[in-house]
Amino acid sequence: MNSPKRNLSFFENVLLNFDNAASYTDHPKGLLEKIKTCNSIYSFHFPIRTQRGYETISGWRVEHSHHKLPVKGGIRYSEHVDEDEVKALASLMTYKCAIVDVPFGGAKGAVKIDPKNYTVHELEQITRRYTSELIKKNFIGPGVDVPAPDYGTGPREMAWIADTYAAFNPGQTDALACVTGKPVTEGGVRGRTEATGRGVFFAIREVCAYGDDMKKLGLTKGLEGKRVIVQGLGNVGYHAAKFCQEGGAIIVGIAEYEGAIYDEKGLDVDRVVKHRKETFSILNYPGATNIPKSSEALERECDILIPAALENQITEENAPRIKAKIIAEGANGPTSAAAEEILLKKNVLIIPDIYCNAGGVTVSYFEWLKNLSHVRFGRMGKRYEQATFDRLLVAVEHATGKSFSENERRAITRGADEIDLVNSGLEETMVSAYNEIREQVKRNTKIPDLRTAAFVEAINKVALAYLELGIFP
């Protein structure tokens, strides 16, 4: 008999996870329906002129929840995107923001193109026209809806969006806060590029820090020595792999669309990236075994699997062959509901996407705050901190007779700069959020897994926001 969870769409998987978690809460049905339903869906089409002639481009912007404003979510450029996917991603953004206590509602946008098929000039046309369509319907603005990069977009596109918005709103002093993920020179924040991957690392490190939890999986405490396979060597996958490697993990496998490589002794992430730039492929990396079919890499021996590509990568078909003890979802929705059912029965610990990849939106929040305050983080306090620490060192030297070298003095007295504060804030956010999720499981022993616990946390926080607004007395 086929499982009812089989062949569900991405959005249906999200709804199923929501309904499952909602059964562990006591909120009224009407409030749960309000939280679950997408508030606004804007679907539109616009023409652009390319080297091949005129083309009509399809775009979307979905605002899932207005329990807090502005809403927040990336813009995806993909030829495979559809409305169902955008609704799913917008929904996840609502829950993600709630889990990490970022005061945004969830949203998501998409343009149905393959960026590789367009020139830079054409991509700029598409991005600026997409932005103008959002402006027409009030689907973008510092206090309304704040996009960010996603699959197929980056700082360049965000700079175009910010410039277009400013052109339509001359004199608006907070115009730069209409979008995050911008280049640092255009109002971006240091640390945003690597934020999602760094957040994945913090999540994995925190999960592995609990010896009792690791013992249940047959693993030792800590990240040191754990074998990791990463799917996707884009922004998220690369940084997650790099930080895990620096944290003592062994990257034994890397998968990309052209294939995968595996080496039990470990792969040097930066050298793999260099090899790919030189040969246009990760295959044939010295000392590694080629795996022609990328998906097969997910089934190789490892302790931690990081799917950091696209959704629906771990399915009912391949889940029985997954050997990882921990799956850290760097991508959105990489594990189907039917696959998760199989994995949980195998005692696999899944770090859910709505927590695991929340580093991006967390640092986007920091960028938004920076744009509204018009002050770089660390600018006002760095020198004061440095002088204070220096006075303390002088006092220690006088009291103990010990003298510090110049290198020691610089290391001890250095005040926090923007990147230090951003990374510290991200670490605190990821650590605190995981402990809230873990505590939810400990308080309610009926909750079976971390994903359900994360959804329960999100539902409770969004419900409280609506109740405080007086919408549901």
Catalytic residues: 108
Sign of CA pseudo-dihedral 459, 460, 465, 471: positive
Report DSSP letters for 215-278, one per residue: HHTT--SSSTT-EEEEE--SHHHHHHHHHHHHTT-EEEEEEETTEEEE-TT---HHHHHHHHHH
Q: Can you read off the two tokens belonging to residue 425?
A: 């804030």
The single-letter code of the amino acid at 198 is R
CB atoms within 10 A of CB 346: 12
Q: Which helix (H) or strand (E) holds 427?
A: helix 418-443
Helices (H), 138-234: 155-168, 195-208, 211-216
Please count the other Cβ atoms lying within 10 Å of the Cβ belonging to residue 200: 32
75: β partners:
109, 149
Q: Which two tokens stand for residue 36?
A: 């679950």
Cα gap 145→152, rounded to integer Å? 20
From the number of C-beta atoms within 10 Å of its C-beta (0-12, 13-18, 19+), residue 222 rates as middle
With a CB cutoff of 8 Å and minimum separation 6, the contacts of 172 are 142, 166
Going by DSSP bridges, is the β-strand pair 71-77/145-149 parallel, antiparallel, or unpaired? parallel
User: What is the residue whose two structure tokens read 């804030």?
Assistant: 425
Q: Which of 103, 113, 115, 166 is nearest to 140 (CA)?
A: 166
132, burial (CB in 10 Å: exposed 0-12, middle 13-18, buried 19+)? middle
DSSP letters, 286-330, are TTPEEESSGGGGGGSS-SEEEE-S-SS-B-TTTGGG---SEEE--
